[in-house]
Amino acid sequence: MVKASPPTSASDPDTPRSQAGSGSTTADPFGADAALMHRVARAQDDLRRWYPVRVTAGSAELLMLPAGSGNPAMLAALSDRLGPPHPVITRERAAVLKVQHKGHETVRLAPRADRSALDLAALADATLDLATPLKGPFTTEPTDADADRAQAAALTLLKRARLLPAALIWPAPDRWPDGAAALTLVEADAVARLAETGPGRVHRIAEARLPVAHAPDSRLIGYRPTDGGPEHFALVIGQPDRAAVPLVRLHSECFTGDLLGSLKCDCGDQLRGAIQRIGAVGWGALLYLAQEGRGIGLMSKLKAYALQDQGHDTVDANLRLGFGVDERLFDPAAAMLRDLGMERIRLLTNNPAKVAGLEALGLDVVERVPHTFATNPHNEAYLATKRDKTGHYL
Ligand SMILES: Nc1nc2c(ncn2[C@@H]2O[C@H](COP(=O)(O)OP(=O)(O)OP(=O)(O)O)[C@@H](O)[C@H]2O)c(=O)[nH]1
Ligand SMILES: [Zn+2]
């Protein structure tokens, strides 16, 4: 059986078996820092239910709702009391809407009383672009540094909650509506700090032997990020071999390809192919990372697929929705590899960004091992886009 690095904490079954990543203990578990983080997590949960939250940064304060049509009664109530909302979008979405802006991370549009709820939803959701021709021209509103930080935090919260990165905000209302005092209030700095350091701190929670096809001598190890984010798994294959550098695959979850057998991508082949190859060499790991849709989440990936049905490629579809081309972080993978004692690896990938991302976090990728499979008529364009736009070796 594979022996990974020994647990660093007590063997009480309810406690995490080990921690990986830096600074995973806080001086005071009930201190101010913990309370700030708790509010960020609560805010994400509120936003997923289309419930408003408040964000502060220095002298700026805003009330926000996710853009979209999930809670029309709340949008109407807030608009009644505070006037029409100011939409805040990413600079990627601003480029699609042809909004002139100063290159800030977020762009705030001026409120307009004649925008319907559907118009507001269409500002965020590119799948509505054809059905709802966008009613520009759009006027931007100037923002100071504090407002920029608050807006950036608002969109970071939405991305962390796996929602589209567009918000309807009401900046610093003179009179908060009744009930606003009870809303979750988060500080922009806490959001930024959690987004930066949270995903790279993981606890090893559970592990067991898991014989799989082509690699019967395997163990599945489960990790939970300390920020409460989605859980990642490592399938450790074979026996540690001091003479060999482990063969590793970082696989980002793909529900459509891994489970449904979608022909639009190469994920299913890559997943099973990686297990087979690592099994054949006898020592390595497959990390199964909860980073669906290159980190935008399955719902947004489905929207990206709808845009691809309209003729956009995989890169443009992400940008049209307001996301970056690739929203994944390599921090959880690096923390898991460290925990597994795999700091020098051979990496199965065609993606130069994966090699660079792991090396930037201090891992030693001694070799990139190509990982290509036969194409089919449905994924040829997708793979060509990876080669031409994201620099994949294909
Ligand atoms: N947003 C988006 N994600 C996609 C699309 N097609 C596949 N994905 C996701 O892309 C990820 C696949 O990543 P990987 O298999 O790691 O591929 P890669 O980054 O190209 O790198 P290698 O396969 O290692 O060369 C999975 O999370 C898929 O869900 C798409 O059209 N849009
Ligand atoms: Zn896929």
How close is the Cα of 256 to the center of ligand 2, in Å? Answer: 6
Q: What are the C-alpha distances in Å from 372 to residues 191, 266, 360?
A: 38, 8, 25
- pLDDT confidence of residue 16: 56
DSSP characters for 244-303? SPPEEEEEE--IIIIIS--SSSSHHHHHHHHHHHHHHHTEEEEEEES-HHHHT-HHHHHH
Task: With residue 119 as reference, give the H or E element that holds it.
Answer: helix 117-124
Q: For ligand 1, which residues put their CB under 6 angstroms from it?
A: 251-254, 265, 267, 270, 291-294, 296, 301, 304, 314, 318, 349-351, 354, 371, 386, 392
Between residues 137 and 142, the one the model is more confident about: 142
Ranges 38-47, 189-198, 276-285, 366-375: which has the least confidence? 189-198
pLDDT in tens, 279-297: 999 999 999 999 999 999 9
Taking a C-beta distance cutoff of 8 angstroms, is the pair 220, 208 a contact? Answer: yes
Whether residue 25 has pLDDT greater than 80: no
Sequence ranges of the domains in the chain: 32-196, 199-291+328-390
Q: Is 326 a catalytic residue?
A: yes
Q: Residue 133, preceding bond cis, omega within 30 degrees? A: no
69 known member of a binding site: no
Between residues 200 and 110, the one the model is more confident about: 110
pLDDT in tens, 321-340: 999 999 999 999 999 999 99
Whether residue 4 has pLDDT greater than 70: no
Q: In terms of C-beta density within 10 A (0-12 exposed, 13-18 middle, 19 or more buried), how is residue 43 classed?
A: buried
Q: Which CATH superfamily is domain 199-291+328-390 in?
A: GTP cyclohydrolase II (3.40.50.10990)
368 known member of a binding site: no
- Phi, psi at 238, each rounded to 5°: 85, -165
Q: Is 227 a catalytic residue?
A: no
pLDDT in tens, 186-230: 999 999 988 888 788 999 999 999 999 999 999 999 999 988 889
Average pLDDT for 13-30 = 55
First-last CA distance in the chain: 36
Q: Which ligand is in closest contact with the Cα of 372?
A: 1
Residue 20: pLDDT band with limits 50, 70, 90:
low
Could you tell me what percent of the chain has a pLDDT over 70? 93
Per the prediction, the chain carries an average pLDDT of 90
DSSP characters for 30-73? TSHHHHHHHHHHHHHHHHHTT--EEEEETTEEEEEEESSSS-HH
CB atoms within 10 A of CB 124: 25
Q: Whose CA is nearest to atom 30 of ligand 1?
A: 314
How close is the Cα of 326 to the center of ligand 1, in Å? Answer: 9
pLDDT in tens, 61-71: 999 999 987 88
Average pLDDT for 164-192 = 89
One-letter amino acid identity for 357?
A: G
Residue 36: pLDDT band with limits 50, 70, 90:
confident
HSE-CB at 336 with a 13 A cutoff on CA atoms is 30
265 known member of a binding site: yes
Q: Which CATH class is domain 32-196?
A: alpha beta
Average pLDDT for 48-69 = 94
Identified catalytic residue from 46, 125, 269, 326: 326
One-letter amino acid identity for 165?
A: P
Residue 17: pLDDT band with limits 50, 70, 90:
low
